[in-house]
Amino acid sequence: MDRKVRPTVTPLDRPLRLLPRVRNYDWGTSDFIPRLCGREPTGRPEAELWFGSHPDAPADVVLGPGDAGSIPLDRLIAERPVEVLGSDSALPFLTKVLSAGRPLSIQAHPSREQAARGFAAQAGRALRNYRDTNHKPELLYALVPFSALSGFRPPAEAAALLGALGLAELEPHVQRLEAEGAAAYRPLLASLTERTGVDLAARVTHAARLATGCADPEGRDALHWIDRIAACHPEDPLVVAPLILRLIHLEPGQALFTGPGVPHSYLEGSGVEVMANSDNVLRLGLTSKRVDPGELLGSLVYEAAGDANLEPEVEEHPWGRRTAFTPPVADFRLDVLDVAGRGPAPLPADDTVRIALVLEGDIEIRNAAGAESPRPGQATLLTASAGAAIAAGAGKVAVTMPNRSDE
């Protein structure tokens, strides 16, 4: 793409089209993102679309006619921060479309304090756990049925599921879970990561198949996922993860929030993912990428997870419905507007930067200075100087913005 930049006097107070970056990770699907965007699949996996300013893959902002007059969003922010962000010094969030065709790694994200310490401590090293000094809480809004692992199961529940496998090498951990509760999770995970390359993964997978018929529905579901994960990672003992971590199923329109130190893995499905603007990931296993069990095990929250589903605030309006997901962080929130064609829907947060991603329908994003008509899978940037804006037409729009209510 020709990246000639329009003069910097170009006004930024009107809606601006964003051109995302495609991330072709091998765990992605080949059809969901192209279908969302109304184009033919390329045959390659398309795991993510990035709409943000992260330097690994900044979206382009179209400032002039066609795609030629565009500039990377991180560069535009560096040149004109006040107009784009208002009082913020950096875009605090990253918006993505994510589509997983197979399980991702078992991972967790650091707190902001841990990220700052870790980033400073690794200065000069070739291998780096921390890419920046920020935390990375994240929200996943399901567009299709979505499955994930998130947080630890109650220890008694995990002990019963592990015990059902009938494997002698796991029995000491079953007993520790029963006797010590959540404190037993760290030595259990440490033991599993130390056994990579032995045949425990194969024995776990075989035992899970034998145990499926006598388990309750929740147990059968967890045991089923062991087989699915083992098909991708047949030598990793962490195939047992569905028996240790909570299995989450989201229906379209539901959302999952993941805070710092929470072990998790996206298993299958597609959705809108919103996170703090960071690339800090600590991986434990089920991946070909670098893992650091010692660093990750020292940062996990070792307690049974509560309800990870993020309950929204739902408002009915003459123009349709607003569903607001407000996580306990200041970096972002997500509002989903179902615009029914009965009049324009006002977009939230007139005084801050927003990214409006069209998910379906025929939508125009408009304010006093101009308009954009993004198709599904396309997004519009509304800078802090854009002020009040509306979504006209009929369709669904996901709007990401800073979460002022958490400040």
Q: What is the mean pLDDT of residues 325-335?
A: 96
Q: What are phi and psi of 203, to 5 degrees?
A: -70, -40
Whole-angstrom distance, CA of residue 385 vs CA of residue 285: 44
- Lowest average pLDDT, out of 64-68, 83-87, 157-161, 170-174, goes to 64-68
CA distance 292 to 284: 6
99: number of CA atoms within 13 Å, CB side? 23
How many angstroms separate the CA atoms of 206 and 200, rounded?
10
**Residues with Cβ < 8 Å from 241, sequence gap 6 or more?**
106, 149, 229, 265, 286
Asked whether residue 226 carries a pLDDT value surpassing 50, the answer given is: yes
| Of 317, 391, 393, nearest in space to 361 by CA | 393
Read off the pLDDT of residues 254-297 as tens digits, 9 standing for 90 and up: 999 999 999 999 999 999 999 999 989 999 999 988 898 989 99
pLDDT tens string 161-187? 999 999 999 999 999 999 999 999 999
Whether the CB-CB separation of 400 and 53 falls below 8 Å is answered with: no
> What is the structure's pLDDT at 1?
44
